[in-house]
A and B are shown apart, each in its own frame.
Chain A
C-alpha cells in the first residue's frame, strides 16, 4: 500500500543571530491512510517544526532547505501557494497545541467551524451552520447548539480542543496533524481527547500524525512511532516492537525513563540535554549522551538503515552489532 504522505530527507533551518539552527535534519518518514503515526522526542527535538514544515508553514527566519514532501501524489514543496491553500484545512488539517488561543476570540466557535466549511466546501450559510452543529455533536460536545453560540473564553480547555478537532475533521481531511493536542489539558480530559481522535481517525480512515513527548500516549494511541532527537530521526518502528525491543540507544533510554508501577526499579533519566542545534557539525547528534558511542559517530552521521518488520534505525552501533540483519 502506497503512503499518503511521504517525507523524504526533509531539512529545516532557522537563520539566527548566533548562526544557522538546524531544527529538522534529513528526516524521512511516511504515513499511511488509517494509521496513527506518533512522533516522540524531547522538547526541542524538532517535532513541531516538522509538523509546520509538512503544511509548508515554517515562518521566516525558518526555511525548508532541502527534501521532498509528497502528499496524495502532489509535491507540496513545488506547489504554488494558492493550491496549497486549498489543501490546508481541507486535505491536511492541524489540531494545535493550544486550543483556546488558536480560536478567534471575537467569533463564536460555531461561526468559526461554519467559516471553514464555507471556505473549503462552498456551503451556503444555512447548510454550513447545520453541518457545523453536526460536527460539534460528532466530537461529543453536549448541547452543541448552545455551545456553537459561545466564544472560546466561555469554553473549557477540553471543550476548545474538541472544537479544534471538529474544525480539523469538518472537511474530512486525509491527513490530520495533531501537535501535542493534550498538552494544555489535564490527564483525564487529555485521555478522552486522544480516544476521540483515535475513534474519529478510525471512522474517517484518515492518517493521523500525533506529536507528543509522552510515551504513555504513544503506547495507548499510535500504531507506529518515529523517535526524534535534536532534529534527526533516530528510529521508526511499530509501537509494540519499539517498546519491547528499542534498538536505538536514545529510544532505549526513553523507554527506560518511563516510570513503571509494576516494577521496583529506579527511574533512569537520560543524561544531558538536547544539544544546541546552532552550527552543528557532522556526525550523530546523540553522540555526547550516548553510552554506545563509537569513533564513527563523531565523524559521520549514521544513515537510516532498514531492520526487521519495516523498522528503520539510524545508529552506527546498532549497524555494527548486526542485530539488524
Chain B
C-alpha cells in the first residue's frame, strides 16, 4: 500500500515539477554515454559558430594578397601558413566555412522539402502519379551523383545558386524514394485507416498524419547528405566547376594546394582537406545520433 502511494507520489513529482530538468538530465546522460556523438555535435556547433562569426574570427582578410608573406609555412603570425598569393590559409578556411555550410544547408533543405511532399503524395496516392514520379526519380538516379552535379553546373554556369541547385538535385531522388517507401509501409497501418475514418481528407492524412512517421530515416539521410553536399561541392570546385575564385572554398583551396604537393608546401592542401574530412565525419556521426534520439520508441530506453 505504502509502496503504491510512494510510486504515485514519485510519478507526480517527476512530471509536474521537474519535467523540463528531467528532460535535460536525460539528454546529458545520453551524451555522456555517447562521447563520440557528443564530440560530433560539438564540432558541428563549432562549425556553425565559425560560419556565423567568420568576419570577426578571421585574423586576416581572406582575399587580400600579401606579397611579403608568400608560401609561408605555419607560424605564430600565420597559424596555417599562407598560399602562393600570400593570403592567410586560416582566414580563407574560416571564410569558406560560411559558404560551404550555407550552400550545403540550402541544398539539403530545398531537396528535403520537395522530396518529402513529392514522396509522400506519390506513396500515398499510388497509381499513375506514383508511376510518373518513380520514372523521373529513375532518370535522376541513372546519373552518378557527381556526374549529375557536374552536368547541371556545366549547363547552368557555376554561380553559387547553381551549385546549390545541382547539389539538391543529387539529393532529391534519395528523399523521394525514402519517403515513398516509408509511406507505403505506414499507409497500411491501422492509424492511417483510423485517420481516414475520422474524416481527414486524403492529402491531410498523407502530409499531416503520416509524413511525420516517415521522417526518422529522413533525418539520418539529410544529415549524411549535408556531409556529402560539402564533399560534392568541394569536388566540383576541385575540378573547376564549383565556386569561382577568388572566393575561398575548401575544394578549390585543396585544388590550388595540390599543385604544390611536389614542392613540399603541405599546409596548402592538408588543412582545407582536414576541414572537409572533419565536417563530413561530424555530419555522419550526428546523423546516426539523431536517428537514435528521434525515435520515440527508443526514448527512455538504454
* Interface residue B75 (Cβ < 8 Å from any Cβ of A): no
Binds A, one of B109-117, B132-140, B196-204: B196-204
* Interface residue B10 (Cβ < 8 Å from any Cβ of A): no
Given the interface contacts A57-B193, A101-B189, A102-B191, does A153 sit within 8 Å of B296 by beta carbon? Answer: yes
Given the interface contacts A105-B213, A106-B212, A106-B296, does A57 sit within 8 Å of B198 by beta carbon? Answer: no
Q: What's the minimum C-beta distance from A125 to chain B, rounded to whole angstroms? A: 15
Q: Quick one: closest B residue to A87, CB to CB? A: B199
**Contact at A94–B296, with CB atoms within 8 Å?**
no
Residues of A within 8 A of B193 (CB): 57, 96, 102
Flag B165-197 by CB within 8 Å of A: 1 or 0 each. 000000000000000000000000111011111
**Contact at B199–A105, with CB atoms within 8 Å?**
no
In whole angstroms, how far apart are the Cα atoms of A57 and B193 in the complex?
Answer: 9
Q: What's the minimum C-beta distance from B132 to chain A, rounded to whole angstroms? A: 20
Residues of A within 8 A of B200 (CB): 85, 89, 119
**Contact at B213–A106, with CB atoms within 8 Å?**
yes
**Contact at A103–B191, with CB atoms within 8 Å?**
yes
What is the size, in residues, of chain B's interface with A at 8 Å between Cβ atoms? Answer: 20
Residues of B within 8 A of A85 (CB): 199-201
In whole angstroms, how far apart are the Cα atoms of A109 and B193 in the complex?
Answer: 16
* Interface residue B291 (Cβ < 8 Å from any Cβ of A): no
Q: Determine the main DSSP class of B at the interface with A.
A: helix
Given the interface contacts A102-B190, A106-B296, A146-B15, does A89 sit within 8 Å of B199 by beta carbon? Answer: yes
* Interface residue B78 (Cβ < 8 Å from any Cβ of A): no
Given the interface contacts A104-B213, A105-B297, does A96 sit within 8 Å of B199 by beta carbon? Answer: no
Q: What's the minimum C-beta distance from A145 to chain B, rounded to whole angstroms? A: 9
Given the interface contacts A146-B15, A151-B296, does A104 sit within 8 Å of B209 by beta carbon? Answer: yes
Given the interface contacts A96-B190, A106-B296, A146-B15, does A57 sit within 8 Å of B213 by beta carbon? Answer: no
In whole angstroms, how far apart are the Cα atoms of A153 and B190 in the complex?
Answer: 14
In whole angstroms, how far apart are the Cα atoms of A96 and B15 in the complex?
Answer: 30
Residues of B within 8 A of A164 (CB): 194
**Contact at A88–B190, with CB atoms within 8 Å?**
no
**Contact at A116–B209, with CB atoms within 8 Å?**
no
CB contact between B194 and one of A84, A102, A153 (< 8 Å): that residue: A102
B:1-28 near A, CB below 8 Å: 11, 15-16
CB contact between A94 and one of B15, B189, B198 (< 8 Å): that residue: B198
* Interface residue A55 (Cβ < 8 Å from any Cβ of B): yes
Flag A188-219 by CB within 8 Å of B: 1 or 0 each. 00000000000000000000000000000000
CB contact between A101 and one of B15, B191, B197 (< 8 Å): that residue: B191
**Contact at B198–A93, with CB atoms within 8 Å?**
yes
Residues of A within 8 A of B212 (CB): 106-107
CB contact between A89 and one of B11, B190, B198 (< 8 Å): that residue: B198
Q: Quick one: closest A residue to B16, CB to CB? A: A146
Q: What's the minimum C-beta distance from B205 to chain A, rounded to whole angstroms? A: 10
Flag A105-121 by CB within 8 Å of B: 1 or 0 each. 11100000000100110
In whole angstroms, how far apart are the Cα atoms of A153 and B296 in the complex?
Answer: 9
Residues of B within 8 A of A101 (CB): 189-191
In whole angstroms, how far apart are the Cα atoms of A107 and B192 in the complex?
Answer: 13
**Contact at B296–A96, with CB atoms within 8 Å?**
no
* Interface residue A23 (Cβ < 8 Å from any Cβ of B): no
In whole angstroms, how far apart are the Cα atoms of A96 and B197 in the complex?
Answer: 10
**Contact at A98–B190, with CB atoms within 8 Å?**
yes
Given the interface contacts A101-B189, A102-B191, does A55 sit within 8 Å of B197 by beta carbon? Answer: yes
Q: What's the minimum C-beta distance from A119 to chain B, rounded to whole angstroms? A: 7
B contact residues vs A (CB 8 Å cutoff): 11, 15-16, 189-191, 193-201, 209, 212-213, 296-297
A contact residues vs B (CB 8 Å cutoff): 55, 57, 82, 84-90, 93-94, 96, 98, 101-107, 116, 119-120, 146, 149, 151, 153, 164, 167
Not counting A55-B197, A85-B200, A120-B199, a sample of 18 additional A-B residue pairs whose C-beta atoms are within 8 angstroms of each other reads: A57-B197, A85-B201, A86-B199, A88-B199, A89-B198, A94-B197, A94-B198, A96-B197, A102-B193, A103-B194, A104-B195, A105-B191, A105-B213, A106-B212, A119-B198, A120-B198, A146-B16, A153-B296
